[in-house]
């Protein structure tokens, strides 16, 4: 294989997500500069590179060297060191500071970074904080390159080297040698298949126990993350794992299932009430389900010390104070929530859940109870605060998550509350539910409020559905739609959709109309129509700000009306200019609406939070975004945590509301079109909802109730004497 070496002169293109680069190299073996392409990793001008690969002839750009492996050597010449430092290769060092370092230390500056870094404090512009940033970046760069060399030596792509190093640190190589399949669980963006490719190149056999066991656990994790299942029937699990692994002998997979059970990583249990023989759980999910049932039963069985007469009197006073007349159904819900240690209030839009919650909270507060209000998301918590007049927070903030230590309020330190109200409980997965229950003293009362017809939680489990199904938790289902709500076609059509019925047109023209169904079959025309609606028609007719008030919700990420394409189209219309940061196929601009894509407890931002990009710092490699008036900092290597939010998935909208919602319903999305998804999207709208697409697709979605079905057994355990 041909080898070339030389000094990197220019980086023409670099994708930090996969390390692919196009660059120019000055090499003594070739006249002029050589164009090199390939996965070069984190490269910077001034470095010396040793490349293995092949010469190719590009039809447009001519002769190039396609690199298969790349070895980095730090620059030795003064000019090379200058170019290297000026390039921004070391975080915290820009052109001006690079020049000052060169003037002060000359060609020894890199040696000083290694051996005597405190001397950098001699240079103007470097204080203790800046030195810490520079050293951290420098040390990571040196260690990451050692990891990259290991990966390249074994023919493994270096795409994820930075992520691997951030997670494992200096023990990264040791961890990879022992079990590369851990990557699939530990590193975001590395799935089983990528880890499997690495393992093969590192010498692991197709029937290696680590591989078979990883495949089994991957199937269970995947079904939990993708479909919300807590378990899989054993026969289904073996079939899926064998198919994933390309294993022609299912008996080998069966053996590893048994081995994982012996290692207590899996639990197998018959659930005759569900007609399931040999349900296979990841041990965490099995323990979580049992513990949730046990703790709920413990709360229910603990005797309440509140006098029923005092409760009735307090409720009556709040009715009078709020000038309310509760319906019989609402009164039943209030009495149930006040009388029982654990209670559920569920109903669709317009059924009075907010009114009931307000009365319950105010009445029990008046009796001297310490009140805590929470919801799974920040937006839902904000709405709960507005509805009740009391402070509400996210469940993570209520339980006080601490970096590296989990929740402050837990089994050992109980939450100082006598009543906890959780809104939008349909979003509550088994993990978060368990954390909440562990933090509650037995004396605490717990009220769950939500809509059982919304999409279930993104995480595994079906907490609300199972609690209702068990019949063990006192629950009131609200059906009556009140007069004011009946005037809203959003509310009327939400209930029609929930019954599988086609929505009705609004009897009013804009701006009084709050619902439209627009039939459009051609996807290109539909996409253009949606952009016009968001940017022109809705703002003009309703006086809404397209950047803040109009939200596109869609079932899919790909396709002509998926989030990816719609975000690009809407970004170009709503925020076409300004400072731009390009990462692969994504471009971020100052002023862009962005969405947090996963929980980040350290930054106190959570999956589904909406923000706005305020600035970039190219020298320090940070992006700043504002979330509900609070500034959050992202390093450039953390940008996979956020995405554009002009168009978001319906799942990401759970717990939020928007003045106006536009949602496509089209046949290419048929796999995800479900009644509860359409219902959830529609009920996110406060003032206006527009559904656009094909009548056939909408009817398909209305007929599809599969989204409600999950493999869980919390209902069975709640009904059992010994969960």
pLDDT confidence bin for 499, thresholds 50/70/90:
very high
Lowest mean pLDDT among 173-177, 362-366, 449-453, 521-525: 173-177
DSSP-derived letter for residue 658 is E
The CA distance from 623 to 615, in Å, is: 6
Residues of 249-283 as b/e, b for ≥16 C-beta within 10 angstroms?
A: eeebbbebbeebeeeeebbbeebeeeebebbbbbe
The CA distance from 67 to 53, in Å, is: 4
Q: Write down the pLDDT at residue 722.
A: 64
DSSP-derived letter for residue 303 is P
Q: Write down the pLDDT at residue 84.
A: 78
The CA distance from 676 to 662, in Å, is: 17
pLDDT at 350 over 80: yes
Q: Write down the pLDDT at residue 152.
A: 66
What's CA 293's distance to the chain center, in Å?
27
The CA distance from 496 to 511, in Å, is: 23
What's CA 452's distance to the chain center, in Å?
22
Tell me the average pLDDT across 242-248: 93
- In the structure encoding, which two tokens stand for residue 524, read together? 């290109």
The CA distance from 500 to 494, in Å, is: 10
pLDDT at 661 over 70: yes
pLDDT confidence bin for 591, thresholds 50/70/90:
very high
The percentage of residues in the chain with a pLDDT greater than 90, rounded to a whole number, is 50
Highest mean pLDDT among 19-28, 33-42, 359-368, 573-582: 359-368
Instruction: Specify the 3-state DSSP secondary structure of 607.
Output: coil
Q: Write down the pLDDT at residue 190.
A: 77
What's CA 193's distance to the chain center, in Å?
21
Lowest mean pLDDT among 77-86, 116-125, 260-269, 274-283: 77-86
pLDDT at 485 over 80: no
Name which residue leads in pLDDT, 251 or 168.
251
Q: Write down the pLDDT at residue 158.
A: 62
Residues of 290-315 as b/e, b for ≥16 C-beta within 10 angstroms?
A: bbbbebbbebbeeeeebeeeebeebb
Query: pLDDT for 333-344, tens place per residue?
Result: 999 999 899 999
Q: Write down the pLDDT at residue 408.
A: 92
CB 607 within 8 A of CB 431: no
Q: Write down the pLDDT at residue 333.
A: 93
DSSP-H helix ranges across 422-537: 430-439, 463-470, 483-486, 489-498, 523-532
């Amino acid at each position: 294989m041909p080898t070339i070496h030389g000094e990197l002169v220019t980086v023409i293109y670099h994708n930090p997500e996969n390390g692919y680069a196009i660059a120019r190299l000055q090499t003594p073996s070739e006249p002029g500069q050589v164009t090199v392409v390939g996965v070069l990793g984190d490269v910077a001008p001034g470095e010396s590179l040793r490349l293995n690969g092949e010469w190719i002839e590009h039809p447009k750009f001519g002769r190039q060297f396609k690199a298969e492996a790349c070895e980095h050597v730090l620059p030795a010449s003064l000019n090379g060191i200058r170019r290297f430092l000026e390039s921004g290769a070391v975080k915290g060092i820009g052109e001006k500071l690079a020049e000052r370092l060169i003037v002060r230390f000359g060609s020894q500056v890199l040696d000083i970074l290694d051996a005597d870094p405190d001397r950098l404090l001699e240079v103007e512009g470097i204080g203790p904080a800046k030195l810490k940033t520079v050293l951290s970046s420098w040390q990571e760069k040196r260690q990451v390159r050692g990891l990259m060399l290991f990966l390249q030596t074994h023919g493994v792509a270096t795409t994820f080297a930075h992520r691997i190093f951030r997670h494992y640190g200096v023990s990264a190589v040791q961890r990879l040698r022992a079990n590369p399949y851990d990557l699939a669980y530990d590193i975001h963006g590395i799935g089983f298949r990528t880890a499997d490719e690495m393992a093969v190149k590192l010498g692991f056999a197709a029937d290696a126990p680590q591989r078979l066991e990883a495949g089994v656990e991957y199937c269970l994790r995947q079904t939990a993350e993708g479909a919300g299942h807590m378990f899989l029937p054993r026969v289904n699990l073996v079939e899926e794992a064998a198919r994933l692994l390309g294993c022609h002998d299912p008996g080998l997979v069966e053996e590893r299932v048994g081995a994982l059970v012996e290692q207590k990583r899996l639990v197998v249990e018959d659930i005759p009430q569900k007609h399931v023989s040999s349900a296979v759980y990841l041990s965490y999910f099995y323990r979580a389900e049992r513990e949730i049932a046990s703790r709920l039963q413990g709360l229910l069985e603990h005797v309440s010390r509140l006098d029923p007469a005092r409760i009735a009197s307090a409720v009556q006073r709040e009715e009078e104070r709020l000038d309310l007349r509760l319906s019989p159904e609402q009164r039943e819900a209030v009495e149930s929530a006040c009388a029982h240690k654990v209670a559920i209030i569920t109903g669709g839009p317009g059924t009075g859940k907010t009114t009931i919650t307000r009365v319950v909270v105010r009445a029990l507060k008046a009796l001297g109870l310490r009140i805590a209000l929470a919801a799974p998301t920040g937006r839902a918590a904000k709405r709960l605060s507005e509805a009740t007049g009391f402070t509400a927070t996210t469940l993570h903030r209520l339980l006080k998550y601490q970096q590296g230590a989990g929740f402050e309020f837990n089994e050992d330190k109980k939450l100082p509350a006598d009543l906890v109200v959780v809104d939008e409980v349909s979003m509550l997965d088994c993990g978060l539910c368990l954390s909440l229950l562990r933090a509650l003293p037995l004396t605490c009362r717990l009220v769950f409020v939500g809509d059982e017809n919304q999409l279930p939680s993104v995480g595994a489990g079906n907490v609300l559905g199972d609690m209702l199904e068990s019949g063990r938790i006192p629950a009131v289902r609200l059906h009556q739609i009140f007069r004011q709500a009946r005037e809203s076609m959003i509310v009327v059509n939400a209930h029609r959709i929930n019954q599988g019925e086609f929505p009705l047109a609004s009897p009013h023209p804009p701006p009084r109309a709050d619902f439209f169904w627009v039939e459009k079959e051609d996807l290109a025309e539909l996409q253009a129509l949606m952009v016009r609606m968001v940017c022109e028609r809705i703002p003009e007719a309703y006086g809404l700000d397209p950047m803040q008030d109009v939200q596109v919700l869609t079932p899919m990420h790909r396709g002509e009306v998926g989030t990816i394409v719609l975000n690009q189209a809407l970004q170009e219309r709503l925020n076409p200019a300004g400072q731009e940061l390009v990462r692969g196929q994504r471009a971020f601009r100052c002023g862009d609406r962005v969405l947090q894509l996963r929980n980040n407890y350290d930054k106190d931002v959570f999956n589904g939070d909406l923000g706005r990009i305020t600035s970039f710092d190219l020298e320090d490699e940070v992006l700043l975004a504002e979330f509900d008036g609070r500034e959050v900092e992202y390093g450039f290597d953390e940008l996979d945590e956020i995405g554009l939010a002009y168009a978001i998935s319906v799942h990401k909208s759970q717990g939020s509301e928007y003045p106006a919602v536009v949602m496509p319903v089209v046949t290419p999305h048929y796999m995800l079109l479900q009644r509860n998804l359409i219902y959830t999207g529609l009920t996110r709208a406060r003032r206006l909802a527009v559904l656009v697409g094909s009548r056939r697709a909408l009817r398909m979605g209305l007929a599809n109730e599969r989204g409600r079905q999950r493999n869980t057994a919390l209902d069975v355990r709640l009904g059992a004497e010994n969960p």
